[in-house]
């Protein structure tokens, strides 16, 4: 396994001084090392992976050095457009290194949402004519590979991908993000569930929120037919929820979103706000971090989701900071015409042994469809 600090030194020697991307669980130790070792002006945690490519392009244009973009391979789809229409040697010719965490590697057990993406990742890169190198977990070999990749990026004036398998990097820890919020996300989810109508549908965002929702339902023998667990496609849960709400106007539909997910495709708030969808209630569980992939910070606490929602056309918005406020706010949201946004601020912590859904995505889909078709 590679020591992230030693690997970072290799990148520095190759002229890489700017880092941007969206944190990934396979790259969390490397990302933690970057967060601790690189000055803030030279490290930007992007809203989404495509935006990270834009930041890297801007850095190269502004300073001329070689940028690095890091991401989980699930974000590969988000970078295709700026990669091919801007950074490509056939367009502007922008050299950069792309560090990809290989979730769903063939032959390696992983979650269902990663399997397809992992299987076709190399073919996607080959089809896009983006050179790729699978990083060795031997430091000396990885250093040579990275030197070759950086030279190739510069010589061809284009992106080169470095692929990191599970277990490529050694552990590297940074101080946990501490907030003065008084409840955990799990507590906020449980309190919300206890206030929501029995015939309402719930669409939960990817990562820990869906896992906590599933685990609580299981612990209470409540069944899971009301819930859609958006196990992949970060940032899209709220539009899935909106699509259901438009289709079933007589049923309340709740989205349990995250701050990182909401930021990733914030334009969706404008679509929701302008939908005039009276039965759509959008709950953003804001803990200020990318909690499922290493706890890297977001700008969730630095912005005002409620003002943004109102500017986008949401009829009402509420900011909740205490657990005992949740029931009252949800009851208010049920009585007014939406779309409505509720921001619930929570701590960044979660249980270490949180389980994963035991039902498959297809089972989840069929159960929800039966629930929605039950008048």
pLDDT tens across 130-187, in order?
A: 999 999 999 999 999 999 999 999 999 999 999 999 999 999 877 666 667 889 999 9
Average pLDDT of the segment spanning 294-310: 93
- The third-level CATH classification (topology) of the domain covering 4-164 is Rossmann fold (3.40.50)
- CA separation, residue 76 to residues 50, 153, 228, 253 (Å): 9, 18, 24, 30
Whether 354 has a pLDDT exceeding 70, the answer reads yes
Cis peptide before 74 (omega within 30 of 0): no
Residues 6+ apart with CB under 8 A from 316: 332, 333, 336, 338, 340, 341
Give the distance, in angstroms, between the CA of residue 296 and the centroid of all CA atoms in the same chain. 11
Average pLDDT of the segment spanning 48-74: 97
Are 82 and 57 a contacting pair, CB within 8 Å? yes
Condensed to tens digits (0 to 9), the pLDDT of residues 238-284 reads 999 999 999 999 999 999 999 999 999 999 999 999 999 999 999 99
Average pLDDT of the segment spanning 196-202: 95
Crossing angle between the packed helical segments 4-13 and 139-156, to the nearest 10 degrees: 30
Segments making up each domain of the chain, as ranges: 4-164, 185-373
Are 4-164 and 185-373 equal in CATH topology? yes
Kindly report the CATH class assigned to 185-373. alpha beta
DSSP state of 53: H
Alpha carbon distance 375, 367 (integer Å): 14
Q: Grade residue 112 by pLDDT with cuts at 50, 70 and 90.
A: confident
Residues 6+ apart with CB under 8 A from 22: 45, 46, 48, 49, 52, 70, 71, 72, 75, 264, 290
Alpha carbon distance 185, 258 (integer Å): 10
Instruction: Quickly list H helices, 107-236.
Output: 112-127, 139-156, 185-193, 208-219
């Amino acid at each position: 396994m590679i020591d992230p600090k030693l690997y970072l030194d290799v990148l520095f020697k190759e002229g890489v001084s700017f880092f941007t991307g969206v944190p990934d669980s396979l790259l969390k130790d490397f990302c933690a090392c970057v967060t601790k070792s690189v000055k803030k002006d030279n490290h930007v945690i992007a809203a989404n992976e495509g935006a990270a490519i834009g930041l890297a392009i801007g850095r190269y244009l502004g300073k001329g050095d070689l940028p690095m973009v890091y991401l989980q391979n699930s974000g590969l789809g988000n970078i295709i457009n700026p990669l091919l229409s801007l950074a490509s040697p056939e367009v502007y010719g922008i050299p950069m290194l792309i560090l990809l965490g290989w979730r769903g590697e063939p032959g390696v057990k992983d979650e269902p949402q990663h399997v397809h993406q992992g299987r076709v990742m190399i073919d996607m890169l080959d089809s896009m004519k983006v050179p790729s190198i699978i990083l060795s977990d031997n430091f000396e070999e990885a250093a040579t590979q990275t030197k070759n990749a950086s030279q190739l990026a510069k010589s061809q004036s284009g992106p080169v991908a470095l692929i990191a398998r599970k277990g490529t990097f050694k552990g590297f820890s940074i101080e946990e993000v501490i907030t003065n919020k008084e409840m955990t996300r799990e507590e906020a989810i449980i309190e919300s569930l206890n206030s929501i109508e029995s015939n309402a549908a719930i669409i939960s965002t990817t990562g820990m929120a869906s896992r906590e929702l599933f685990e609580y339902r299981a612990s209470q023998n409540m069944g899971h037919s009301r819930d859609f667990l958006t196990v992949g496609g970060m940032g899209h849960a709220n539009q899935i929820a909106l699509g259901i709400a438009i289709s079933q106007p007589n049923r309340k539909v709740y989205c349990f979103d995250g701050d990182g997910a909401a930021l990733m495709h914030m334009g969706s708030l404008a679509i929701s706000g302008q939908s005039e969808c009276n039965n759509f209630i959008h709950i953003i569980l804001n803990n200020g971090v990318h909690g499922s992939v290493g706890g890297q910070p977001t700008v969730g606490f630095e912005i005002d989701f409620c003002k943004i929602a109102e500017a986008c056309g949401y009829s009402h918005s509420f900011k909740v900071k205490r657990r005992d406020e949740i029931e009252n706010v949800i009851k208010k949201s049920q009585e007014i015409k939406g779309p409505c946004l509720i921001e619930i601020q929570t701590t960044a912590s979660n249980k270490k042994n949180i389980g994963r859904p035991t039902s498959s995505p297809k089972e989840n889909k069929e159960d929800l469809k039966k629930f929605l078709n039950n008048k």
